[in-house]
Chains A and B, each alone.
Chain A
């Protein structure tokens, strides 16, 4: 099995080891999510983030060494039927999935398992949002209309064209690629974002959902791109997969799982 993994690394250029970069964090990052308990200020400790989303080749190397996560083997409670459905087979990418494209059709459980197997974890929403606020020269470019327009441009593109390879173009200030413009990404606490601030209001799950949304305020209504991500992630369940949803891993700043 180890030999197979080794071969895979040699044969597939995209299957290189995960490449992490350190992000300094921020004592009080202004999140677009303004919960009543924190007023939208979130402490972000220094952490490391993968410079690109996990690729098909990297995920293939993972399922080679982790048979329980192969398509057809992974239990449906962890990954719905569409899991890795764009691959040629359980252990082959096939014509429709290029090695260097970001892996998609992965569930939250599978994404988490991948990161754990690589001594990492999924980033939290706050970490992802903080990282994604950067552009090539600024750690927080969110107030710049040009930054917003560029990101929104991605949402205007049709989703039926093949995904680009990861790491094309220039990285941001931190050395990170593809936080916008390629795929949606799982975060560890994806399910937590729209939970109602008033947990006594339990009458009806639909009402609860709306209360959850009501518990959030944002003074940043212009930032549709990030709000759309939140709405999309909140609509998912952990076993769901989609063709435009991938992930990348994070870890503590000194290489330890935090």
Chain B
């Protein structure tokens, strides 16, 4: 496992230098993996990364936007709920990625502000933005449905999506709140167990 992580780190570094994942890198990813989508995102510090660089450990993904008053804080609460329900060891092997539905308004500063306000742990958490076109593709890949409203808000479904280490959709949960759905939590634990074997 350690060697593989190291390899992935090198692969990630190499691709960061060339700008995109090579065709060979992409082909090595399973066909049913979300990581087949070669999207460039940028995080709450403005650092760019490729979606596929998250390969290697399970990932909890959700979509949100920072100006949202009702559900989006709840989405962060829900992801934190999963984080807190896990043991320290389990937590260390899981990543949390929240992608903005609203790249026009969610610039790096807006992401950073929520990141700090919610005291998210940079070792695990990423708040990210990407192009509007990528947002639509990512939402489709994750099964998130959304619609921009006339007043600039968004209607959206609020799935937490669990990806395995290869980026395959394993499970999702629409239950919001600080107490995670036990079935979903079991899926997370199961994915962690498989990936750390």
Contact = CB atoms under 8 A, between A and B. Distances in A.
B183 interface: no
SS of A interface (majority) = loop
Specify which of A35, A77, A191 lies most central, judged by the most chain B CB atoms within 10 Å of its CB. Answer: A77
Given A75-B32, A109-B140, A238-B140, A202 B158 contact: yes
Contacts, number: 76
Contacts of A215: 155
Contacts of A112: 137
A108 B140 contact: yes
Contacts of A237: 140, 143
A2 to B, nearest CB: 18
A195 B157 contact: yes
Contacts of B155: 195-197, 199, 215
Contacts of B174: 202-205, 208
B147 A76 contact: no
A200 B68 CA distance: 11
Nearest to A201: B71
B109 interface: no
Contacts of B88: none
Contact of B70 (A68, A76, A188, A199): A199
Given A75-B31, A199-B155, A37 B141 contact: no
B11 interface: no
Interface in B126-163: 136-137, 139-141, 143, 145-147, 149-151, 154-158
B20 interface: no
Interface residues of B, number: 32
B147 A192 contact: yes
A188 B133 CA distance: 10
A8 to B, nearest CB: 22
A208 B157 contact: yes
Given A77-B36, A195-B156, A188 B146 contact: no
B152 to A, nearest CB: 10
B37 interface: yes
Contacts of A205: 157, 174
A189 B140 CA distance: 10
B167 to A, nearest CB: 8
18 contacts: A35-B149, A37-B149, A37-B150, A75-B29, A75-B31, A75-B33, A75-B36, A77-B31, A77-B33, A78-B36, A109-B140, A191-B145, A191-B146, A192-B145, A195-B157, A199-B158, A208-B157, A237-B143
Nearest 4 CB-CB pairings of A with B: A238-B140, A192-B147, A75-B31, A75-B36
Given A75-B31, A193-B147, 14 more contacts: A35-B147, A77-B33, A77-B34, A109-B137, A191-B140, A191-B145, A191-B146, A195-B146, A195-B147, A199-B70, A199-B155, A202-B158, A204-B174, A215-B155
